Amino acid sequence: MKRVLVAGGRGLLGQSLTGELLRRGWEVWAPGREEMDITRLGEVRRMVKQTRPHVVFNVAAFTDVDGAEEREEEALLVNGLGVRHLALACLEEGEIPLVHLSTDYVFDGEKGSLYGIYDLPRPLNAYGRTKLWGEKALQALSRHYYLVRTSWLFGPGGGHFVGRILEAARQNLAAAPPGKPPAPLRVVDDQYGSPTYTRDLARALADLVETGCWGTYHVTNTGVTTWYGLASRALELAGIPVPVLPVASSEFPLPAQRPRCSALDPFPLRETLGYLLPPWTEALEGYLKEEGQRTPATPSPGRRL
């Protein structure tokens, strides 16, 4: 039986990952921040020594992209220094393999095509800079690592774009006067990426560990869309008759600049696992069905790059 330690196991991805590992019969330790704060080296060392895991997963992160612009030092403690602490503890306890989750936001989005695993990172915002710091710390201290970049997560547990869109649409629907159409939602249509279902990602992470093929990977559901494309498809599948209007990013000025297209090339994921993750449209349908929000809808291919 594999014994694993999951940092951030109570977050959005952490819940799906913990569930996947338990289904495989693995012994899982998923301490909360009060039990292991990864920004504190002593606590990390103590937990790794206590649990003696065969592998460590780090899915803990400071993910407030706009908040990181004003709180970059706080984000760096989690996204950067926390990774260094985990890598050090794994090294000291016999080079325990470390699986670390990073982001598409380490890229600037100006390549004009999918980003490969060895393309040069150039983050546009503080969040991306802190995640890149963590990547470099991992690569400097560990040989036995899986650096996994992903993007646009959704899944059970809430706190993601799909959930917020569905809630906003229901509010607009409820607020509409009798006999009047609901107010439309305005969603950005000039940022491209690959939505990723946490259950699909969790399966791939567990399978990667089984291969023993350390290195860098890009793991997302297949296909590319915009936030507008994702919102439109989610409302269509959920059967919520609220219109969605495509708008430019310039109409929603935010503290953090976003990459125009940060979609990731999965090579060599298929060559390593023997499969790619399903299309994001299928994953979204599965998620909404799981959450009891799926209603019959006309099939749609979604927006592609």
Residue with tokens 């030092």: 73
Q: How crowded is the C-beta side of 65, counted as CA atoms within 13 Å?
A: 18
Residue with tokens 């802190």: 130
The yes-or-no answer on residue 192 being catalytic is: no
CA angle 212, 121, 143 (to 5 degrees): 25
3-state secondary structure 16-54: HHHHHHHHCCCEEECCCCCCCCCCCHHHHHHHHHHHCCC
Handedness of CA 92, 35, 204, 138 (dihedral sign): negative
Q: What is the DSSP letter of 84?
A: H
Least Cα distance to 221 among 162, 292, 159 occurs for: 162
Q: Which of 127, 145, 192, 228 is catalytic?
A: 127
**Which stretches of 144-196 are DSSP H helices?**
161-175
**Residue numbers annotated as active site:** 127
